Amino acid sequence: MSKIKAARKAKGLTILEVATLIGVTPGTISRVERGLQGMRPETAKRLAAVLGLDPAEVIFADRVAPQAERERRKAERRTYVRRAADRGDAR
């Protein structure tokens, strides 16, 4: 679990609540928690304030998904494409 997600859960907040408090979409919070997206410094500071973290922890936490996670997602995409091709849905 990412440091950001752990802090959010420790505060008892949902993704929607955090997103509303800092002015971003829930999808943004989800991607940040999973290490798929970074944040602008101003937004990271607002998130840090809401979660009680140091802004640097938010800016640099889980910025890039670990190699194993990237490989897992790549395998899922290959499986999806293969299944779509089998159904005749390939682009």
- Residue 59 belongs to a domain: yes
Residue holding tokens 């840090």?
Answer: 48
Nearest-angstrom CA–CA distance, 2 and 65: 10
Tens-place pLDDT, residues 19-53? 999 999 999 999 888 888 888 999 999 999 999 99
Most confident region among 9-23, 33-47, 54-68 by mean pLDDT: 9-23
The tally of domains found in the chain comes to 1
Across 32-60, b (16+ Cβ under 10 Å) vs e yields bbebeebbeeebbebbbebbebeeebbbe
Q: What is the CATH number of the domain that holds 22?
A: 1.10.260.40
Residue 82 lies in a domain: no
Q: Domain range holding 52?
A: 3-65
- The pTM of the full predicted model, rounded to 2 decimals, is 0.66
What pLDDT does 6 receive? 93
Q: Is residue 7 part of a domain?
A: yes
